[in-house]
Chain A
């Protein structure tokens, strides 16, 4: 099969990536807006285009449990979910990470209820921040495909051996068709060879995994997990570059920088808000404003040093979060500020909460935010540390 260009939705493309990665076990439960991901995979398995076992389960908790069993037996596994499904998996997310199983999961970002809402919002995946899972956020359908392939390579590396969620926003990407290049299968196989686990469940050589650990040894295993994510910080750009050399597309590793080099004002965001902001930046640049955008692709591990580098030459950082951590602020804003705590002469910083529950965040809205920031930059202070965009009066 040679490389081909197809037009399809973000969800179907995630299914294509699962096929291209030659996942061997898929256990999944449908939920809006994720369902078409696993429908596409079911079709591939049914047609014999994937040599995989497709396990239908009764809940997301079971989906992740089945993936854990399969991964522990040495299979390459995949699943997908959204919002409440991800929340139901929470216990098993912890298990996956602590058992060091490189399960890859598409998370189609959707707001948590009630009020019932099926639209884009990062409150589902960002609520799982501390489970140990790596978190990638995509901005278009091609990036969904490429990131899933990259994630298998990364997570199956013995220095990592951790699971990853590859997130894309509900409806904005999940149900929107875009042209995507699917590389030649033999080239993907060369980039991503078969999974060789460090250990497996084997009836001829029985082991117990997840056994009891007393207080005198528990912390050490948590330290290993932390070190694995530190290692991922190093490996993410290396794997992205190798992917770029082979397939002609790379994404800047941890974050995509757009017209950042001489920018006084930097906009920081994740997912499609980060890509929409490029249009804003182009328009402001046309009017002579030195503005750039950094789209954070990896939220865990958090690219602390890369944020410090970005801040080196800029005078203001404006962070736009599609999530609110109640009682504090947007999580990306918190992490950005924490990353710059040690830096002398930190740039001016402000955070915006935008687009919750799928509310549209257009380039024009980002333009208003950026212009306000430019004004504040001139004044040398921000009016308010955290503001909600377009909140009704």
Chain B
């Protein structure tokens, strides 16, 4: 019962229940699903990283100064980060 790291070839390669190892973009590049785009006002950002914790897709990264940076290749524009930001530093702007 070990999680799959690679594509199975036979039934013997499978774990007993679907387990998979983390991988960036296993469902493809989901960024194009976006209707609203999170725009960060970095002058307001306190670096609390609540957006990084709450992002359901794990597509907010931490830059060299440990500040949030969105990977737009995968961000679906759900707006959870904007909702959680305690200083309203994130604005959801329509892009489509």
Q: Are A211 and B16 in touch, CB under 8 angstroms? A: no
- A145-179 residues at the B interface, CB under 8 angstroms: 158, 161
A198: nearest chain-B partner, CB-CB: B1
Q: How far is the CB of B94 from chain A (nearest CB, A)?
A: 30
Taken together as a complex, chains A and B put the C-alpha atoms of A207 and B5 apart, in Å, by 10
Decide if B11 is an interface residue (CB 8 Å cutoff): yes
Q: Is B24 an interface residue (CB 8 A)?
A: no
A207 lies within 8 A of B19 (CB): yes
Q: Does the CB pair B20–A208 fall under 8 Å?
A: yes
Closest chain A residue to B2 by CB distance? A199
Interface residue A66 (Cβ < 8 Å from any Cβ of B)? no
A282 to chain B, nearest CB (A): 46
> Do B16 and A224 touch (CB < 8 A)?
yes
Whether a CB of chain B sits under 8 angstroms from the CB of A57 is: no
- State which residues 197-217 of A face B: CB under 8 Å: 198-199, 206-213, 217
Prevailing SS type, chain A contact patch? loop
Q: Which residues of A contact B14 (CB under 8 A)?
A: 217, 220-221, 224
A221 x B22 contact (CB < 8 A): no
Docked complex Cα distance between A100 and B17 (Å): 6
B-chain residues with CB within 8 Å of residue A207 when the two chains form the complex? 3, 19-22
Closest A residue, CB atoms, query B27 = A212
Report yes or no: B11 in contact with A220, Cβ–Cβ below 8 A.
yes
Complex Cα distance, B15 from A208, in Å, reads 12
Contact with A along B48-83 (1 / 0, CB 8 A): 000000000000000000000000000000000000
Say yes or no: A199-B19 contact (C-beta < 8 A), given A217-B14, A221-B14: yes
Q: Roughly how many angstroms separate A212 CA and B20 CA in the complex, as a whole number? A: 9
Residues of chain A within 8 A of B15, CB atoms compared: 199
Query: Taking the complex as formed, is A98 at the interface, i.e. its CB lies under 8 A from any CB of chain B?
Result: yes
Known A198-B1, A199-B1, A199-B3; judge A209-B8 contact (CB<8 A): no
Give the total of B residues in contact with A, Cβ under 8 Å. 15
> Do A161 and B16 have beta carbons less than 8 Å apart?
yes
Separation of A381 and B16 alpha carbons in the complex (Å)? 48
A310 in the interface, Cβ–Cβ < 8 Å? no
A211 touches B22 (CB 8 A): no
A99 interfacial by beta-carbon distance below 8 Å: yes
CA distance A161 to B11 in the complex (A): 18
The reply to whether A198 and B16 contact each other, CB–CB distance below 8 Å, is yes
Pairwise interchain contact B16-A100, C-beta atoms closer than 8 A: yes
Q: A99 to chain B: which residues have CB within 8 Å?
A: 17
Tell me whether A211 and B1 are in contact (CB under 8 A): no
Q: How far is the CA of A223 from the CA of B12 in the complex (A)?
A: 12
- Which chain B residues numbered 1 to 44 have a C-beta less than 8 Å away from chain A? 1-3, 8, 11, 14-22, 27
| Known contacts A198-B1, A199-B1, A220-B11, A206 near B22 by CB under 8 Å | yes
Separation in Å of the A160 CB from the closest CB of chain B? Answer: 10
Interface residues of A in 223-270 (CB under 8 A from B): 223-224, 228
Note all chain A residues with C-beta closer than 8 A to B22. Answer: 206-208
What residues of A have a CB within 8 angstroms of the CB of B17 in the complex?
98-100, 209-210, 221, 224
| Shortest distance from the beta carbon of A215 to any chain B beta carbon, whole Å | 13
Report whether B16 and A209 are in contact in the complex, using a CB–CB cutoff of 8 Å: no
A59-81 residues with Cβ-Cβ distance < 8 A to B are none
Name which residue of chain A comes closest to B17, CB basis.
A100
A residues at B contact (CB < 8 Å): 98-100, 158, 161, 198-199, 206-213, 217, 220-221, 223-224, 228
Given A158-B1, A206-B22, A224-B16, 16 other A-B contacts at CB below 8 A?
Answer: A161-B16, A199-B1, A199-B2, A207-B19, A207-B21, A208-B19, A208-B22, A211-B20, A212-B18, A212-B27, A220-B14, A221-B14, A221-B17, A221-B18, A223-B11, A224-B14
11 contacts between A and B (CB under 8 A): A98-B17, A99-B17, A161-B16, A208-B20, A209-B18, A210-B17, A210-B18, A217-B8, A223-B11, A224-B16, A224-B17
List 9 tightest A-B contacts by C-beta distance, closest first: A198-B1, A100-B17, A211-B20, A207-B3, A208-B20, A207-B19, A211-B18, A209-B19, A220-B11
